[in-house]
Chains A and B, each alone.
Chain A
Amino acid sequence: MPVEIPVEKWPGRVLEATIGATAAEGGTRSRVVKVGGENTLPFMLTDGEMPNPPRIAMEVLDRYPEDWSPLLLEAWGDAARDPAQWAKAAEDAGADLVLLQLSLTRDGGKPTTAADARAITRAVLQATGLPIMVFGPGQVDADNELLVAVAEEAAGERIVLGICEEKNYRTIVAAALASGHLVNGRTAMDVNLAKQLNILIADMGMPLDRIIMDPTTAGLGYGIEYGYSVMERLRLAALQGDKMTQLPMLVTPGFEAWRQKESKVGEGVPASWGDWRERAILWETLTATNLLLAGANVLVLRHPETVRRVRAFIERMMAK
């Protein structure tokens, strides 16, 4: 009995954003990373095309992350004590992108200065050939001071600056515009809030193909279904032709999975949770895998083993 395959063609397409610049483009990256560009639901390659696979970014902190799970500290070893070494290690672990996360203070409690941020960014750019993203500490004054300096220091490198939020995006967007960078905007698990922030950023003159949106997610078992459905709705809107949703999506399953007790700690948990290491890797891997199915274009991860797992899954999903 012949069955007619129900193909769905969409009028809209996600914009393609290019992160990083090689020497030919005025930067120093060994390659650029393109994200987005699809005109189909995630991995539905019988309906349309995904010119770029989802990409993996690894989080690198500018100071030793003492509050991270011992499993992560063990995986990174001494590399986690130096952002440049860490960035190199992330590249070796298979990352497509490095996300440099700046802290409010240095070891010893002194505030991170603009000069510190410049030096750290420079060191990371020299240590890795991957395109980078730099996120501020998340406090308005510090973000503005540090990210303006970072934008100047990395001029020409086409980095992603973040995190733009509705309460604070103008300075970050202006800095990115002045030095040819991209921005990442985050909103709290809501389709309309995401659209609204994209509009605000675009209204400042930022081309849409230089905006990445983070609709915010949650860890497996901790509300991931909210983020998952918001992402599905955003992607459907994009494919249906809503311009202000046609931006690549970045989410942070690493952060979300590793802050949960399931991943973070090995003691004082129910026996039914099983082996700690297995559970922790599963938690981050499944959080990331599930978000791929909802349309994630950039996944920010933390554990090298997860990167290997998620990359292998992406490769299988993209295989023709």
Chain B
Amino acid sequence: MALTGLQIYKLLPQTNCKECGYPTCLAFAMKLAAKQAELSACPYVSEEAKAQLDAAAAPPIRLVTVQGPGHKVSVGNETVIFRHEKTFYNPPGLFVRVKDTTPITDIQKAVQEAMGYSVVYVGMILHLDGVAVEAASGNPDTFAAAVKAAREATDRPLILIASDPAVMKAGLAAADDTRPLLYAATAENWQEMAALAKGAGVPLAVRADSLDGLAELTEKVGGAGVQDIVLDPGVRDPAGTLVTLTHLRRLALKKNFRPLGFPVITFPGEGAADAIEEAQLAAEHIAKYAGFIVLDRFSPAMAYALLAWRVNIYTNPQEPIKVQPGIYEINNPKPDSPVMITTNFSITYFSVANEVDGSGLPGWLLVADAEGMSVLTAWAAGKFDAEKIAKTVKTTGIEERIAHRKLIIPGAVAVLMGEVEEELPGWQILVGPREAVDLPGYLKLWSVN
């Protein structure tokens, strides 16, 4: 919770010594509240006041960053429990696990395959975020070799999984100048793990099987100088994960409970018998509060589904993804090519544009400004009516570019046909298919006459 200037003032020495550069302590407090001054400018502030002010300024869920040579992932900093309350900000990192007991060439292959994967979704290029290397061997050299192989095969960030600090140390050295997440400190090894994390300036995950134990550990590793912490509450089944991660989110946001105000790491594969079940658990974790998700399986279909779901959930509900209204030319349309109209909701636009594009047939696609709503939603809200359709036709200048006067409207708004004909004298209004997927078949039959 951010403090007001007056609340900050009460924590200052109130001597008006002016050494901070401001005439009074109150003026300094106001600047601090506005984040235009640094507390370190005051030489006399007490340690206790400093701690309180620092704590008040910190976000309820700490932002934790991991970094590879080419990419970084930051998670945390969330402010709501339900996305409609504002939005979710930092999508969970999706990592793929490899084990050091696998032959090096297979590790390289698996890393290249998963990290080389990308898919285009509503005009965005989506990919997975990094690799988790696990020291299943328990041998420092074997682990170091596996980390090195992963490190060379991708420029994305790593998570290092080892329970023996000596093994972890070897892996950390092999991770070069990157900023991996170390997994994990436990009640048994936390001192050495914290020392490693602090020494390298990298984040550290802590694992305990109860929230009590988890809070105790974060206090300990925090006391040892590690600030960037990630939580593993030890649950693996989907029901327990939902309940526990919900409790963690509530504790951080509603109780401002600092010891558990960190992002959470999950391992859906450890609670699943096969790929589809793992995807179900990962989907739950995306919706309900994971910060890092370590997958045990990778396939293009699974990655595509999870990446699309992640975009969906982390889309700002106040700002639908829109495309620019106007004329879109597909496959070099000519004056006698068909003219279609749809709305500027990105998913609607890309569904339609992809189908027309894929059909190989030329077409003019008019995109109406429907405030980023899909056809039916926009129609129901009065944002995609006959008037709007007519206005789009007239203002885009499509009439100068075509030799006919035929307009295809979406089948979902067939009911608008008569009204659009009234609004657009001289035009013939045709009702297209309800679903974009049926457009290629429809366009094959289209003729200007």
Do the beta carbons of B259 and A1 come within 8 Å of each other? yes
Do the beta carbons of B238 and A273 come within 8 Å of each other? no
**B250 closest partner in A (C-beta):** A6
Q: Given the interface contacts A285-B279, A313-B280, does A2 sit within 8 Å of B238 by beta carbon?
A: no
Q: Hey, which chain B residues are within 8 Å of A275, CB to CB? A: 299-301
A58 at interface, CB cutoff 8 A: no
Q: Given the interface contacts A220-B312, A309-B277, A313-B280, does A282 sit within 8 Å of B305 by beta carbon?
A: yes
| Interface-side segment among B112-120, B157-165, B167-175, B176-184 | B112-120
Chain A 223-269 residues near chain B, CB threshold 8 A: 223-226, 228-229, 232-233, 236, 259-262, 264-265, 268
Do the beta carbons of A1 and B254 come within 8 Å of each other? no
Do the beta carbons of A259 and B435 come within 8 Å of each other? yes
Bitwise interface map of B from 333 to 346 toward A, beta carbon under 8 Å scored 1, else 0: 00000000000010
A279 to B211, CA, bound (A): 37
Q: Hey, which chain A residues are within 8 Å of B117, CB to CB? A: 272
Tell me how far the C-beta of A75 lies from the nearest C-beta in chain B, rounded to whole angstroms: 15
| Interface-side segment among A76-84, A203-211, A286-294 | A286-294
Q: Hey, which chain B residues are within 8 Å of A290, CB to CB? A: 283, 287, 309
Q: Quick one: which of B300, B305, B347 has the most chain A CB within 10 A?
A: B305
Tell me how far the C-beta of A265 lies from the nearest C-beta in chain B, rounded to whole angstroms: 7
**A275 closest partner in B (C-beta):** B301
Bitwise interface map of B from 345 to 371 toward A, beta carbon under 8 Å scored 1, else 0: 101000100110010000000000000
Tell me how far the C-beta of B89 lies from the nearest C-beta in chain A, rounded to whole angstroms: 15
Q: Hey, which chain B residues are within 8 Å of A2, CB to CB? A: 212
Do the beta carbons of A3 and B120 come within 8 Å of each other? no
A270 at interface, CB cutoff 8 A: yes
A24 at interface, CB cutoff 8 A: no
Do the beta carbons of B84 and A261 come within 8 Å of each other? no
B257 at interface, CB cutoff 8 A: yes
A110 at interface, CB cutoff 8 A: no
How many residue pairs link A and B with beta carbons under 8 A? The number is 162
**A289 closest partner in B (C-beta):** B280
B251 at interface, CB cutoff 8 A: yes
A29 to B435, CA, bound (A): 37
Q: Hey, which chain A residues are within 8 Å of B283, CB to CB? A: 286, 289-290
**Chain B residues touching A, range:** 35 or more
Tell me how far the C-beta of B114 lies from the nearest C-beta in chain A, rounded to whole angstroms: 13
Interface size for A (C-beta < 8 A) is 59
Bitwise interface map of B from 410 to 439 toward A, beta carbon under 8 Å scored 1, else 0: 000000000000000000000000010100
Tell me how far the C-beta of A137 lies from the nearest C-beta in chain B, rounded to whole angstroms: 14
B302 at interface, CB cutoff 8 A: yes
Q: Which of A3, A233, A271, A273 contacts B260 (CB 8 A)?
A: A3
| Interface-side segment among B5-13, B92-100, B193-201, B374-382 | B374-382
Do the beta carbons of A289 and B284 come within 8 Å of each other? yes
B204 at interface, CB cutoff 8 A: no
Q: Hey, which chain B residues are within 8 Å of A313, CB to CB? A: 238, 277, 280
Tell me how far the C-beta of B237 lies from the nearest C-beta in chain A, rounded to whole angstroms: 6
**A282 closest partner in B (C-beta):** B305
Do the beta carbons of A293 and B287 come within 8 Å of each other? yes
Q: Which of A43, A193, A260, A309 contacts B242 (CB 8 A)?
A: A43
Do the beta carbons of A223 and B302 come within 8 Å of each other? no
A3 to B258, CA, bound (A): 11
Bitwise interface map of B from 192 to 228 toward A, beta carbon under 8 Å scored 1, else 0: 0000000000000000000110111001000000000
A188 to B383, CA, bound (A): 14
Interface residues, chain B, with chain A CB atoms under 8 Å away? 82-84, 117-121, 211-212, 214-216, 219, 237-239, 242-243, 246-247, 250-251, 254-255, 257, 259-260, 275-277, 279-280, 283-284, 287-288, 299-306, 308-309, 312-313, 315, 317, 345, 347, 351, 354-355, 358, 374, 376-377, 380, 435, 437
A to B CB contacts below 8 Å, 12 in the list: A3-B215, A3-B259, A6-B254, A188-B380, A225-B312, A259-B435, A274-B304, A285-B280, A286-B306, A309-B276, A313-B280, A316-B239
